[in-house]
């Protein structure tokens, strides 16, 4: 199953300029935390995706923020080093495989903010607002057919703030929602995660 990981690329392989913009951002105090400085395996997380650029449906899953504990040396959003490790990212990727997403859709993963917060606390509104420009640029870059916020806080931001901007109004009816992978990871409920992803497929046009 780990060969699936090789299908996912990081942002710098697709858009070096945007990668440098994100890594150079210092708008928030958390950018000074060592884990958020560009010195692999540290650095701000990047958009992750399969980047097939074909006619397949393109899904952008949006999480909250990267964990203070990093797994992927390439700084790919929500990404594990190994699909069998004990992490929410690995659990989520396995669920995408078992729910039939990898072979059916073009998958992209990102977060509201690219920096880890101290002790994995929820980002404050200014941090989310500051990072909003990068989320917008990612959407313009990959042109997803559907936005899938993970968790109600992310869903509310996408609907109340992001979609309020004229350029993204077209996603109003194409924004879906699932629980955050951390919810399933905490509750050790892998089967429910797969079940929710299978149900979600019924709403993807």
Average pLDDT over the chain reads 90
pLDDT by residue (tens digit) across 101-127?
A: 988 999 999 999 999 998 888 899 999
* 205 burial via Cβ count (<10 Å: 0-12, 13-18, 19+): exposed
E-strand ranges in 12-130 read: 48-49, 58-63, 106-111
pLDDT by residue (tens digit) across 19-42?
A: 999 999 999 999 999 999 998 778
Q: Report the pLDDT value the prediction gives residue 168, as an integer from 0 to 100.
A: 73
pTM score, two decimals?
A: 0.93
| 188: confidence class by pLDDT, cuts 50, 70, 90 | very high
How far is Cα 95 from Cα 93, in angstroms, rounded to an integer?
A: 5
pLDDT tops 70 at residue 140: yes
Q: Which of 81-85, 128-132, 179-183, 192-196 has the lowest mean pLDDT?
A: 81-85
pLDDT by residue (tens digit) across 156-185?
A: 988 888 887 657 777 877 889 999 999 999
Domain 2-201 has CATH 3.40.470.10: yes
Q: Give the residue extent of every domain in the chain.
A: 2-201
How far is Cα 61 from Cα 68, in angstroms, rounded to an integer?
A: 20
| 54: confidence class by pLDDT, cuts 50, 70, 90 | confident
């Amino acid at each position: 199953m780990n060969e699936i990981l090789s299908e996912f690329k990081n942002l710098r392989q697709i858009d070096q300029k945007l990668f440098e913009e994100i890594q150079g951002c210092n708008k928030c105090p958390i950018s000074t935390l060592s884990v958020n400085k560009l010195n692999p395996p540290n650095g701000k997380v990047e958009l992750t995706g399969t980047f097939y650029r074909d006619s397949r449906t393109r899904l952008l899953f949006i999480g909250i923020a990267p964990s203070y504990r990093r797994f992927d040396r390439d700084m790919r959003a929500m990404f594990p080093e190994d699909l069998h490790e004990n992490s929410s990212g690995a659990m989520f990727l396995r669920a995408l495989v078992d729910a039939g997403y990898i072979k059916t859709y073009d998958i992209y993963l990102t977060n509201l903010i690219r920096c880890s917060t101290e002790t994995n606390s929820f980002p404050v509104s200014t941090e989310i607002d500051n990072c909003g420009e990068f989320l917008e640029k990612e959407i313009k870059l990959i042109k997803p057919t559907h936005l899938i916020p993970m968790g109600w806080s992310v869903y509310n931001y996408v609907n109340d703030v992001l979609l309020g901007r004229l350029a993204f109004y077209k996603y109003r009816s194409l924004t879906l929602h699932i629980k955050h992978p951390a919810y399933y990871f905490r509750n050790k409920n892998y089967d429910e995660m797969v079940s929710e992803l299978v149900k979600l497929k019924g709403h993807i046009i």
